[in-house]
Amino acid sequence: MTLRIAFAGNPNVGKSALVNAIAGTRLHVGNWPGVTVEKKEATFTFAGEEVRLVDLPGTYSLSSYSIEERVTRDYLLNERPDVVIDVVDATHLERNLFLTLQLLELGIPVVLALNMWDEAKERGIEIDTELLAKVLEVAVAATVATTREGVGELLPTARRLAAARPATIAAHNAACRDASLAEARPHVARYGPLVDPEVRLLGEALHRDAAALVERVPCRWLAVKLLEGDVGAQALLDGTGEGLRKQIAEQRRRIQTLAGDDPATVISDGRYGVAKGVVAEVIRQRPIDRRDLTELIDRVVLHRWLGIPIFFAMLWFVFHTTFDGAQPFVDFINQVITGPVERWFLVGLTAIGAPGWVASLVSEGVIGGAGFVLTFVPILFFLYLFMGILEGSGYMARAAFVMDRFFHTIGLHGKSFIPMILGFGCNVPA
């Protein structure tokens, strides 16, 4: 029997490097069916047992708005790997736990790989791994993919967890149901007094009205996603009664009325609250000699009220600087094309006896048209230069997060703002 291990995690946490450290040259690269997202997997024998590793796309959530999110979520729901190794950046534990909490609701055993452990120590961050394992009820391993430190612990730990996993989703649902009622298991995320009763109520309705569905989909995870308004979760309800959909709509309205905010935002805030509480408990020592500039910037650019004004101010700066910076180069190209270049062609064509209309067509039409196209080069250069700077600085990912709520209202992901920006200069990328 094959031990199936999925690697999940945020982008840029060293997940692929960790997979490469384990699989080496046995790693095969292809595409996921129906999409262009890269698929990496490896099959080999470990301790006499066949093991298959799957490197899932980097994602921040298990929603269904981006291709990466859909691929990751569908694989975890449909294929049900034996173990998930959740690779997190040890230097930004709180941010990465947002995905971890969603993975735990799927009922698949999780190994938390605290990658970039060496960088965390360099910054003075000390994480109590034993306490973290106890709080989240997961196995925890400190790893450094580049030096293979701690990598050897992952496969033996995954084998041990796979042997003890719930036999069926029904068993997980039963355990989760008991946990929801008794509030006895800390890894079941709490979303606050407004949301938790609604999750419990909807979970009971799903067991009653969609019994066949919750036999193959974790009930608590599904209830939370339905209350969030996740379109992928709503699609799973096809074939169920209209009464269940009406109940979900009513529960969402109730949360919005009482909380004064969208249910997805309330639940998201709840996850971040849990993550913040976990981090406050397990990080034993924080850096005291220097402030983490990245976290300071995040608090500003991701601020609930300041984030969008900062985003539009950044757009104004990029466009203003792009056109102002490119204008001298545009003027120079215009002067060269409409001046000496056009005259040279006109003189040359006249010298060989070309008719006047041909000379006019070439000098004013062809040369003028080519010159018009060339005037866009400086503008595109400056635009893509600034886009590259924003991408390299990490602001693009933060801007996508800031705009995510707005774009979700029109059925798009926050990343859609990138083609929107490019569309101001050309409607092809838009």
In this structure, are 178 and 154 located in the same domain? Answer: no
> Which of the pair, 409 or 18, is modelled with greater confidence?
18
What is the structure's pLDDT at 182? 37
For 399-417, what is the mean pLDDT? 73
Residue 302 reports pLDDT greater than 90: no
User: Residue 194: is it exposed, middle or buried by C-beta count within 10 angstroms (0-12/13-18/19+)?
Assistant: middle
What is the structure's pLDDT at 370? 79
For 40-66, what is the mean pLDDT? 87
- Which run of H or E residues covers position 84? strand 83-89
Residue 29 reports pLDDT greater than 80: no
In this structure, are 235 and 141 located in the same domain? Answer: no
pLDDT in tens, 214-242: 888 888 899 999 999 988 888 889 878 78
In this structure, are 155 and 15 located in the same domain? Answer: yes
In this structure, are 7 and 138 located in the same domain? Answer: yes
> Going by DSSP bridges, is the β-strand pair 83-89/110-115 parallel, antiparallel, or unpaired?
parallel
What Rg do the C-alpha atoms of the chain give, in angstroms? 27
Q: Is-contact 79 70, C-beta < 8 A?
A: no
Residue 189 reports pLDDT greater than 90: no
Residue 381 reports pLDDT greater than 80: yes
pLDDT in tens, 125-183: 999 999 999 999 899 999 999 899 999 999 999 999 988 876 556 555 665 555 444 34
Asked whether residue 180 is assigned to any structural domain, the reply reads yes
> Which of the pair, 25 or 113, is modelled with greater confidence?
113
Of 255, 285, 315, at which residue does a domain stop? Answer: 285
Q: How many CB atoms lie within 10 A of CB 252?
A: 19
CATH of residue 220's domain is: 1.10.287.1770
In this structure, are 180 and 144 located in the same domain? Answer: no
Q: Is-contact 7 39, C-beta < 8 A?
A: no
Asked whether residue 296 is assigned to any structural domain, the reply reads no
Cβ neighbours for 250, distance < 8 A, ≥ 6 positions apart: none
Of 254, 285, 316, at which residue does a domain stop? Answer: 285
In this structure, are 141 and 174 located in the same domain? Answer: no
Where are the alpha helices (H) located in 263-394, listed in sequence order?
263-282, 293-301, 307-336, 342-351, 356-360, 367-374, 376-393
Asked whether residue 355 is assigned to any structural domain, the reply reads yes
Asked whether residue 301 is assigned to any structural domain, the reply reads no
Three-class DSSP category at 363:
helix
% of the chain beyond a pLDDT of 90: 32
Residue in this structure with the two tokens 């215009």, named with its chain if needed:
334
Asked whether residue 415 is assigned to any structural domain, the reply reads yes
Residue of 116, 393, 227 lying closest to 127 (CA atoms): 116
Could you give the CA distance from residue 104 to residue 224 in angstroms, rounded to a whole number?
Answer: 13
- Phi and psi of 254, rounded to 5°? -65, -45
- Inter-CA distances, 113 with 124, 129, 132, 143, 159, Å: 19, 10, 12, 6, 15
Of 109, 138, 163, at which residue does a domain stop? Answer: 163
In this structure, are 224 and 321 located in the same domain? Answer: no
CA angle 269, 65, 10 (to 5 degrees): 65
User: Residue 401: is it exposed, middle or buried by C-beta count within 10 angstroms (0-12/13-18/19+)?
Assistant: middle
In this structure, are 233 and 314 located in the same domain? Answer: no
- Inter-CA distances, 316 with 63, 207, 320, 321, 379, Å: 31, 51, 6, 8, 15
Residue of 321, 314, 297 lying closest to 403 (CA atoms): 314
In this structure, are 96 and 185 located in the same domain? Answer: no
In this structure, are 356 and 263 located in the same domain? Answer: no
* Domain total of the chain: 3
Residue 244 reports pLDDT greater than 90: yes
Q: Is-contact 337 368, C-beta < 8 A?
A: yes
In this structure, are 320 and 272 located in the same domain? Answer: no
CATH of residue 58's domain is: 3.40.50.300
> Going by DSSP bridges, is the β-strand pair 49-55/3-9 parallel, antiparallel, or unpaired?
parallel
Q: Which domain holds residue 59?
A: 3-163
Q: How many CB atoms lie within 10 A of CB 248?
A: 21
What is the structure's pLDDT at 197? 93
In this structure, are 254 and 398 located in the same domain? Answer: no
Asked whether residue 227 is assigned to any structural domain, the reply reads yes
Asked whether residue 112 is assigned to any structural domain, the reply reads yes
User: Residue 277: is it exposed, middle or buried by C-beta count within 10 angstroms (0-12/13-18/19+)?
Assistant: middle
Asked whether residue 428 is assigned to any structural domain, the reply reads no
